[in-house]
A = this chain, B = another copy of it.
Amino acid sequence: MSKAEESEGEVVIAFQPHGRRDLFSVGVSLLDAARELGIDISSLCGGKGLCGKCKVKVVEGAECLSPPEPLELRFLTKEELEASYRLACRARVLAPCKVVIFVPERSRIGKQRLQAEGLEVPVMRLNPAVRKYFVKMSPPTLESATFDDEMVLNALAEQYGLSGLDFHYEVLRFLPKVLREANWEVTVTVWKDTIIDVEPGDTTNRCFGFACDIGSTKLAGFLMDLNTGKVLSVAAKMNPQVMYGEDILTRVTYVMQNGWKGLEDLQRAVAEAINEMIEECCQKAGVKPEEVYETVFVGNTAMMMFFLKIWPEFVAKAPFQPPRMRGVNLPAREVGVKCHPRANLYFLDTIGGWVGADNAANMIVTKLFDSEELGMCIDVGTNTEIGIGCKATGVLYSSCASGPAFEGMTIRHGMRAADGAIEKVAIDPETLEPTYRVIGDVKPVGICGSGIVDVVAALLKSGIIDWTGRFNKELALRSKRIRLGPDGLEYVIAWREETASGEHDIVFTQRDVREVQKAKAAIHAVASILCELHNVTEKDIKVLYVAGAFGNYIDPESARTIGMYPEVPLERIKFIGNSAGTGARMALISVDEREHITKAIRDGRIRHFEIAAYPKFYNEYVSSMYFPHKDLKRFPEVVELLRRLGTHPEIEEALKLGTKR
């Protein structure tokens, strides 16, 4: 027993999964204890019990805590109460004892989540395509002279049992020189069956690779040690293709207008940014770019086409057929990527339509197609891709244009997730006053995607909007935050004097709500249709993987409240961060991972379903426009919450009608 645990009159609180614990005085709130230990738990309202973001599960010692307050009951569902969930800000320890608290992922703040995902990746087998071998040979004599190439191949066979190799023709150019200058002691670099370099001496410990996720907005790059599978350094950049169009279709149009030259423009822009990332990563890790022997890239179908200079016109037109299914190998230098002169570039497989290699990477990470349990993987962005399935059924993938709403683009005061963006919002149902958090802890400038989802959920929970998304104009009488603006009714999140510019109030309008409604309806409809195609319901989803930085920051409860995600218990939601980048890293260090995913796609165990062609889609889309859904039976927990809050008479009405029928 540790000293902490044997003390009397004091409280031991342990936090999982962090594994941190310490002694606290009786009366401490769980939130204060967590903060003292440096464990960041989401909280917007500053511990007033108003935002409901700080839910934690009490694993041990529940009996020593203060009983749940009425404030808490607003945010906790019956299931959650039964499972010992509490708001960390309201629950206090009333007696000396040991308390063990589990902080669910959704209650951790984004920053921690990203760190928590870790940079080391578990793969099927550490098996990079590139390996180095040190060989020693006896210099040839007149009697023993054969051929330079055969000597190296024989040495590799004798010393390492390798066979079936051959040289990249360029290596033959300097092979005679390097063998003799190195006195026949050289390191041979092999990519698959091809010898791509021969260097003097033993450089086997210098073998690196670069993995990269090309997002339409952001690029993320990772320098990895191929001998250990570890990440050495990381870099991120904006995708400079935004110069040619914020969204993908604008970029495709740019190519249509400028022809192959236009495609070259897009390509050069991203290649230059990638080279800067490679340089940055290399500099951080003390590696030379020429020591990077392979690169792996992922990105959606359009990103692949722009990067590999594939004519992109037709994937933007019905029937949206992409050019390529299988992963593509090519010399990195052919698309201007500067690393080892004979480095390979591997772009992962496309699943179908707009569902590209980034989602293939998500599948590498989640292995949904190998899973015994039904799962769903969602990657939210301007385009949202959703895959649902398991080993028995295979995974069906589809995508929808979730619109630029979540990128903040069609929203009155929307903005990207940068400093000054309101990223979390809660509204007190009593006072209708908001609390919010701003990225960078500065005065607010606008509202970003996660804030947008939060504000819609808060507007709904507080009854400011009804289940059809309409503002309740009656409430304008109760709060001056609800008022008529140029776009109809609107809610003031921040008065101008609170804002960075001081020039205008930050509002969320009726029109903004409509934009979010369309986006969330499309997403939910896809998930719903995919379930139907598998003959399952949303309730059968045992795990919901939320991929992508954006999905990572969205409050899952808010997303579920507005009916954007299916109503799966929050415990089943797993945040996998930038799993496209993670999958790219896994593919970089393991050829098995590449082959495994390629086979799954070729065998149809992961397949694309073109939802635009599906007759039931439009009906489901319209039903999904409701908050949370026209069919309330699909969201029993959300309905229970809204009824408890008492803010939605129209839902009570609908339920009555439903019962009567």
State the A residues within 8 Å of B (CB).
140-150, 166-167, 169-170, 172-177, 180, 308-315, 318-326, 328-330, 334, 350, 352-353, 610, 612-613
Q: How far is the CA of A318 from the CA of B140 in the complex (A)?
A: 9
Do B324 and A172 touch (CB < 8 A)? yes
Contact of A321 among B147, B312, B329 (CB under 8 A): B147
Q: How far is the CA of A153 from the CA of B612 in the complex (A)?
A: 26
Nearest Cβ on chain B to A267's Cβ, whole angstroms: 10
Do B148 and A322 touch (CB < 8 A)? yes
Nearest Cβ on chain B to A514's Cβ, whole angstroms: 28
Q: How far is the CA of A312 from the CA of B175 in the complex (A)?
A: 10
9 smallest beta-carbon distances between A and B, as pairs: A142-B613, A145-B319, A169-B330, A147-B325, A145-B321, A142-B319, A148-B323, A177-B311, A176-B314
When distances are taken between beta carbons in the complex, the residues of chain B under 8 Å from A353 are: 145
Q: How far is the CA of A175 from the CA of B146 in the complex (A)?
A: 45
12 A–B pairs (Cβ distance < 8 Å), ordered by A: A142-B319, A142-B320, A142-B613, A143-B610, A143-B613, A144-B319, A145-B353, A145-B610, A147-B322, A147-B350, A169-B308, A175-B311
Q: How many copies does the complex hold?
A: 2
Q: Which residue of B lies closest to A353 (CB)?
A: B145
Q: Which residue of B lies closest to A263 (CB)?
A: B173
Do A328 and B172 touch (CB < 8 A)? yes
Do B176 and A326 touch (CB < 8 A)? no
Do A324 and B148 touch (CB < 8 A)? yes
Q: How far is the CA of A485 from the CA of B318 in the complex (A)?
A: 91
Q: How far is the CA of A176 from the CA of B350 in the complex (A)?
A: 15
When distances are taken between beta carbons in the complex, the residues of chain B under 8 Å from A150 are: 325
Do B142 and A172 touch (CB < 8 A)? no
Do A149 and B324 touch (CB < 8 A)? yes
* Known contacts A172-B328, A173-B310, A308-B172: A147-B323 contact under CB 8 Å: yes
Do B612 and A142 touch (CB < 8 A)? yes
Q: How far is the CA of A310 from the CA of B323 in the complex (A)?
A: 38
Besides A143-B319, A145-B319, 17 more A-B contacts (Cβ < 8 Å) are: A140-B319, A142-B318, A144-B319, A145-B353, A145-B610, A146-B321, A147-B350, A149-B324, A150-B325, A170-B334, A172-B323, A172-B324, A173-B310, A173-B311, A175-B310, A176-B310, A176-B314
Contact of A352 among B146, B314, B326, B329 (CB under 8 A): B146
Do B325 and A149 touch (CB < 8 A)? yes
Nearest Cβ on chain B to A163's Cβ, whole angstroms: 13
When distances are taken between beta carbons in the complex, the residues of chain B under 8 Å from A328 are: 169, 172
Nearest Cβ on chain B to A572's Cβ, whole angstroms: 33
Q: How far is the CA of A176 from the CA of B352 in the complex (A)?
A: 15
Q: How far is the CA of A1 from the CA of B222 in the complex (A)?
A: 89
Q: How far is the CA of A169 from the CA of B319 in the complex (A)?
A: 23
Q: Which residue of B lies closest to A148 (CB)?
A: B323
Do B321 and A148 touch (CB < 8 A)? yes
Do B140 and A334 touch (CB < 8 A)? no
When distances are taken between beta carbons in the complex, the residues of chain B under 8 Å from A352 are: 145-147
Q: How far is the CA of A510 from the CA of B146 in the complex (A)?
A: 40
